[in-house]
Structure 1
Amino acid sequence: MKGNNKEFRVNKQFLKFKNRNVLLTLKNNEEARGKLISIDNYLNTVLQTEDGIRFIKGTKIAFIAME
């Protein structure tokens, strides 16, 4: 079958946040700060915060900004 060899690629605009300190504003008006370790095309993120590693589901994110 053709087309099965396509690689999964994360949107380049999302990758510019990787390994940088970011501020996430969540839809419930909470904020999360930390170093963005991982992000995918659904905005699921893994942050390294002062309290440890935190996973945030993309559907909860309203805004991402670099600090």
Structure 2
Amino acid sequence: MGKMNVTGDMMLSLFAEMVLDEAVRSYKEKTLTQEIDQALAMGDEASFIALTTELNSLRALGQ
């Protein structure tokens, strides 16, 4: 039974890490989207391009 507990603990740890990673990615995506909206509203083309590039990279990693 000891091995089964270790395996179960490892699986729970992996699952928790996956959930946390997704939460962080989702938060970053939301923040970047808000910053992109602000850059558009201010007409800041350089920030818009940098932020959309970062958002696209983040989304590519998530797939």
The normalised TM-score by structure 2 is 0.26
- Larger strand share, 1 or 2: 1
TM, length-normalised to structure 1: 0.26
- Structure showing greater radius of gyration is 2
Structure holding more helix per residue = 2
